[in-house]
Amino acid sequence: MTNTFCDDFRAMTAERMAGSMEDMTYAYEQTRVPKAHYRKMLATGIEQVMEASVEINLIQPYISIIKQMINENPKSFYKALLCIDAKVTMTTIRTSEWEALEDMWQSHQSKDDPNHGGHLPKATIDTFKDIAKHGLDQLSNELDDKQK
């Protein structure tokens, strides 16, 4: 069996790994990421790396529960979200607030609602997708340009 770059990479020092990673990144469309960045990332404590992994695993049950609630009763789910954001409690809800919840649900169901079919404003979803695709720095630059 032949030796692969990965086999050699594992045997390198962190300094040489960082240099190799810089070279590999440059090989992709001549993208420049300084060796110092990789050196810093390789020196990151395992606790910090594990923290992100643990958070991902904690979010999954929330997603499952929310999907189940939406599937079982989307109207109640929508009203519950609205109550949370509007700081309305079921123990102190007024008749006018209850009617407003129903009106908002009807409006949300309307084909004219720009968020029809979603639970968050379309602008929020669009911003999320922009950040995921282009990064926060580019989005900040675009917002700065629009403000000028």
pTM above 0.85, yes or no: no
**Residue 19: which residues within 8 A CB-CB, separation 6 or more?**
35, 38
**Cβ–Cβ under 8 Å, residues 79 and 105:** yes
- Please tell me the predicted confidence (pLDDT) of residue 43: 87
Write the pLDDT tens digit of every residue in 101-129: 999 998 888 777 776 667 788 888 888 88
Domain ranges of the chain: 1-72, 74-116, 118-147
Place 61 in a pLDDT band, splitting at 50, 70 and 90.
very high
**Residue 107: which residues within 8 A CB-CB, separation 6 or more?**
113
Write the pLDDT tens digit of every residue in 2-27: 788 888 888 999 999 999 999 999 99
